[in-house]
């Protein structure tokens, strides 16, 4: 065996990727981040995953992640509201339904710009925003739909003052990095490497967006071979890795918050950034996004569900010393979240978001940014 071949063999073995003694096998997934999908990645699709994980796939389909994006043809909100209108200064906005398409129009009374909506972001629980192409670029619509008012209002992050021209009124032109971020966090298979692949886009965050490509995993399982290393399990991450790198890749981190500081209290929408401030987070390694939320199920809404999560840490363990036990609240024994994670109203969003900065909230205190 030549020295070059020996070097190649050892390089492959230590990389832990393709080769075992005497046989060739699929690459093992050592690390995976939903927003950093390698170029050339192909996905098998949810139906393939459902062959073995039917209950997970079925329950996940109803989650906000799975519904983070929808096609214009489906467009539940736009079908239910076929004619939406909004006026801002000299400009009139409308979104009108025409068969399986919705058109976005802006007029100043003299001239009109009308474009077909290309992509719908958001499930509509709080609201949803629209992307379209105009003059060779992607734009974010200046107006979005908000559930609380069952109508249109200015999209969060857009300048509050009336636009200076009709072209400026249609929306915000997106930089390339923003386009990639939007599609990475709201769909599966659309961004690979640093390129946009709209031909392979699947709306929403599906199984493989979080677990990585599943073909090799499924093939090994069918042949009754070891398959766990051929798919990524986020449960293998520490609480810090899961929250700060994995979930925060879409749900925002401190760096994003600094860029969006001008948006006042809307950073309450960025749960990882908010929870970083919590004493719980720095004191207890068990605290992570999945400590309270099951990503395969819709977000729980009952106080009892979250009380149980709090009590799991704030109850004396049998035989544990007082120093090893997190203090139990002396005021209340239930509805913990309403006191320690209050809802914050974001006027621009017409919605109240749960503040994930876990703390003792003092009466009449200013919103802690």
pLDDT per residue as tens digits for the range 271-285: 888 888 888 877 777
- What is residue 187's predicted lDDT score, i.e. its pLDDT? 96
Q: What is the pLDDT of residues 126-142, one digit of tens each?
A: 999 999 999 999 999 99
Distance (Å, whole) CA 355 – CA 268: 6
| CA angle (295, 297, 299) in 5-degree steps | 85
Residue 347: pLDDT band with limits 50, 70, 90: confident
Rounded to the nearest 10 degrees, how much is the dihedral formed by the CA atoms of 34, 35, 36, 41? 60
Burial of 46 (0-12, 13-18, 19+ CB in 10 A): buried
Q: Token match 């969006």: residue? A: 260
- What is residue 31's predicted lDDT score, i.e. its pLDDT? 82
Distance (Å, whole) CA 365 – CA 362: 6
Whether residue 22 has pLDDT greater than 90: no
Residue 319: pLDDT band with limits 50, 70, 90: low
Residue 228: pLDDT band with limits 50, 70, 90: confident
How far is the CA of 316 from the CAs of 321, 325, 347, in angstroms? 8, 6, 41
- What is residue 193's predicted lDDT score, i.e. its pLDDT? 93
How far is the CA of 257 from the CAs of 160, 195, 266, 270, 272, in angstroms? 19, 25, 9, 8, 10
Classify the phi-psi angles of 146: left when phi > 0, otherwise alpha if psi is within -120 to 50, otherwise beta.
Answer: beta
Whether residue 310 has pLDDT greater than 60: yes
- What is residue 316's predicted lDDT score, i.e. its pLDDT? 64
The candidate with the shortest Cα–Cα distance to 277, out of 356, 338, 337, is 356
Average pLDDT, the chain: 85
For a pLDDT cut of 70, what percent of the chain falls above it?
A: 85
The first and second tokens of residue 93, run together, are 């906005």
Q: What are phi and psi of 339, to 5 degrees?
A: -90, -40
């Amino acid at each position: 065996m030549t020295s070059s071949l020996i070097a190649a063999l050892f390089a492959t073995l230590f990389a832990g990727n393709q080769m075992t003694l005497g046989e060739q096998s699929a690459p093992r997934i050592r690390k995976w981040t939903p927003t950093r999908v390698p170029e050339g990645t192909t996905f098998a699709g949810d139906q393939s995953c459902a062959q073995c994980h039917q209950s997970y796939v079925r329950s996940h389909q109803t989650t906000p992640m799975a519904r983070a994006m929808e096609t214009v043809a489906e467009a539940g909100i736009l079908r239910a509201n076929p004619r939406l209108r909004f006026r801002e200064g000299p400009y009139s906005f409308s979104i009108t339904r025409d068969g399986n398409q919705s058109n976005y129009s802006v007029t100043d009374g003299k001239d009109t710009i009308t474009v077909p909506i290309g992509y719908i972001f958001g499930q509509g629980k709080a609201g949803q925003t629209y992307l379209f192409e105009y003059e060779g670029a992607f734009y974010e619509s200046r107006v979005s739909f908000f559930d609380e008012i069952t109508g249109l209002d200015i999209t969060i992050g857009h300048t509050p003052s009336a636009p200076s021209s009709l072209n400026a009124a249609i929306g915000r032109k997106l930089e390339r990095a923003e386009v990639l971020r939007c599609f990475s966090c709201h769909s599966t298979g659309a961004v690979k490497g640093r390129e946009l692949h709209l031909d392979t886009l699947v709306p929403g965050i599906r199984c493989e967006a979080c677990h990585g490509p599943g073909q090799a995993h499924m093939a090994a399982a069918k042949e009754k071979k070891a398959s766990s290393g051929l798919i990524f399990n986020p449960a293998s991450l520490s609480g810090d890795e899961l929250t700060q790198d994995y979930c925060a890749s879409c749900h925002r981190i401190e760096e994003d918050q600094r860029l969006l500081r001008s948006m006042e209290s809307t950073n309450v929408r960025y749960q990882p950034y908010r929870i970083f401030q919590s004493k719980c987070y720095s004191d207890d390694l068990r605290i992570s996004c999945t400590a309270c939320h099951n990503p395969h199920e819709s977000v729980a809404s009952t106080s009892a569900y979250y009380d149980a999560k709090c009590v799991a840490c704030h109850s004396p363990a049998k035989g544990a010393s007082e120093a090893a036990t997190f203090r139990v609240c002396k005021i209340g024994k239930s509805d913990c979240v309403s006191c320690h994670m209050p809802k914050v109203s974001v006027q621009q969003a017409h919605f109240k978001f749960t503040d994930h900065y876990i703390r003792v909230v003092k009466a009449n205190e200013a919103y802690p940014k």
